[in-house]
Amino acid sequence: MRHMIKNAAASRALAALGLVVSLSLSPATLTSAFAQTRAETLRYVTGAGINTLDPTMPGSTREAFALSLSTYDRLVSFGRKQLNGKWVFDLDAIRGELAESYEVSPDGLKITFKLRKDAKFHDGSPVTAEDVKWSLDRAVTANSLAKAQLLTGSLTSPDQFKVIDPYTFEVTLPKPDKLALPNLATVYPIIINSKLAKSKATAEDPWAQQWMKENTAGSGAYTIETFKAGEQAIAKRNEDWKRGPNGQQAHFKRIILQSVPEAATRANLVERGDADIVIDLQPTDAAALEAKGKLKVISTPQYNAITFVSFNNKIPPFDNPNVRKAIAYAIPYEDIFKAALFGRGAPLYGATWADGKAPAGTFPIPQPVKLDLAKAKEYLAAAGMPDGFSTTFSFNVGQAGTAEPMAALIKESLGKIGIKVEIQKMPDAQMSTAINEKKLPFFTEGIVAWLPSMDYFYRNFYIGAIRWNYSSIDDPKLTELAQAARFEPDKTKYEAMGRELNTMHFELMPQIPLWQPSQDAVMAPNIEGYTYQFHRQVDYRDLSCK
């Protein structure tokens, strides 16, 4: 990073970095933000923008989630593990963040947290159990994203949260729920400086949601120095935060976060050294930069995400499982994987199952399907449609980089068995509305499970009249089994339930899993510590510069 740059020179330097800064920023702020050496400042560019400082607000972007992880603490956080040689978050390793320790009662109905006595909010006030109580009450009461997420861990009412003493806090569950504790590590249950937030609340806004959109009341590793929604944020290290590995501070003194909508521009910035890390490049750009060998590229299959082709199981002819199976055997998987992703991901096709039974109880697992046009025609005939039919295939234009070649190859292949496909390219808002209203018969989308347990996938994506049940499947047996698995404590029985659900999924074919796309983190060679996180963003606290 260049040394002390003043006023107009600062703006020119920012332009050289590809970073556009609001003219409202003072010269002192510009000078302060860019006077650090490159080893002290992390420059991060992203295609989307940070639209709020409160991650619980409806419509919050993933970039907002990432920043909030650094500005707010939670009671606990996920550990990490190696998966195929890459560091990823570990759902089963929960460690304390604001909690110095925690204990689950033998009956699984109480979780008791002992808080760190040295933890302070950014204004210097201590973090107490009263703050935790107010924060979690807000999470399950206010009109926010937090309420629906915490519901998946049986956290639904302020009555479940109890202050024992200033540094001891208790959560009570109606029945043992294996996802209660992991839910407290997600982005939503932030611990808020309750005195500060309450001072900004109003009768119409008792949880200070309007104020917290553009202000923070946290205790995290960073404070916000400047913020312009949708464009940029500059975060400054909280020198009092020492909750990293071995009680360390965050490595970087500042983080510059900038929205750069064009993927090619982001690729150029990181290649030139004007950005230190980027994670949302096109697969083509990531592959090209990796081939040059000058940057570090960590390509991690998103093990909690799935890209799929989905049918609306209630719209003819897709209400017929034989039609769905016909299409499953008419998809040119390998050609799509190469054309859309350049092979950057983990395939979910081409497996071999003995006797058609699922070999594992985890989800997702590779499916025993491959391109077989003869079998596809047999299923069409069994459906009573030997001559095929006409349909539409829809995708979000925001996903055109991968969805467009996918759609073209599907159209071509399905035409060989008599299914005529019209491709629909839909703007994000239009497609979101159509999905909500269950109007799309045949389309591609993706799902992400922050808590990627088998039952979480099935309960959130294959049950009920909700948006995330993309296929609109309504199978009583599958529903009953998925709900029972949620509370099954016996690991052997839980695994057996998973194998049965996976077998049912294949037999019903409500949608066709294609792959788990890789997240390509492209960074300067001296950046260390990158870990793939559940929210598919960078945790800046993980990173350092050697």
- Asked if residue 71 lies in contact with residue 220, where contact means CB atoms within 8 angstroms, the answer is yes
Kind and range of the H or E run holding 265: helix 263-272
Query: How is residue 116 annotated by DSSP?
Result: P
Q: Measured in whole angstroms, how far is the alpha carbon of residue 215 from the centre of its chain?
A: 23
- Asked if residue 446 lies in contact with residue 309, where contact means CB atoms within 8 angstroms, the answer is no
Rounded Cα–Cα distance for residues 318 and 334 (Å): 24
At 335-377, the pLDDT tens digits run 999 999 999 999 999 999 998 899 999 999 999 999 999 999 9
| Residues across the chain | 546
Query: pTM value?
Result: 0.86
At 154-209, the pLDDT tens digits run 999 999 999 999 999 999 999 999 999 999 999 999 999 999 999 999 999 999 99
Residue type, 242: K
Tokens 């560091």 — which residue? Answer: 87
At 297-331, the pLDDT tens digits run 999 999 899 999 999 999 999 999 999 999 999 99
pLDDT of residue 311: 97
Residue type, 520: D
Backbone angles phi, psi at 303, to 5 degrees: -70, -5
DSSP symbols for 449-474 = -SS--HHHHHHHHSSSSSTT-TT---
Kind and range of the H or E run holding 78: strand 76-83
Q: Is 514 helix (H, G, I), strand (E, B) or coil?
A: strand
> How many Cα neighbours within 13 Å face the side chain of 367?
29
pLDDT bin (cut points 50, 70, 90) of residue 18 is: very low
pLDDT exceeds 70 at position 99? yes
Tell me the average pLDDT across 476-501. Answer: 96
Domains parsed from the chain with CATH numbers: 7-71+220-295+524-545 (3.40.190.10), 88-195 (3.90.76.10), 305-519 (3.10.105.10)
Tokens matching residue 447: 């799902």
Rounded Cα–Cα distance for residues 73 and 97 (Å): 7
> How many Cα neighbours within 13 Å face the side chain of 291?
7
Nearest C-alpha neighbor of 379 from the set 417, 341, 409: 417
pLDDT exceeds 60 at position 88? yes
pLDDT of residue 39: 73
Note every long-range contact of 3-10, with CB atoms under 8 Å and residues 24 or more positions apart, other chains counting: 3/35, 4/31, 4/35, 5/30, 5/31, 5/34, 5/35, 6/31, 10/34
pLDDT exceeds 80 at position 417? yes
Q: How far is CA 223 from CA 45, 70, 123, 403, 541, in A?
A: 19, 8, 10, 38, 13
pLDDT of residue 38: 63
Q: Is 453 helix (H, G, I), strand (E, B) or coil?
A: coil
Q: Measured in whole angstroms, how far is the alpha carbon of residue 175 from the centre of its chain?
A: 27
Nearest C-alpha neighbor of 403 from the set 325, 512, 308, 328: 308
* Helices and strands (DSSP H and E) totals, the chain: 18, 20
420: CB partners within 8 A, 6+ apart = 388, 389, 390, 391, 414
DSSP symbols for 377-430 = HHHHHHTT-TT--EEEEEEEGGGHHHHHHHHHHHHHHHHTTT-EEEEEEE-HHH
pLDDT bin (cut points 50, 70, 90) of residue 248 is: confident
> How many Cα neighbours within 13 Å face the side chain of 427?
2
Backbone angles phi, psi at 450, to 5 degrees: -60, -35
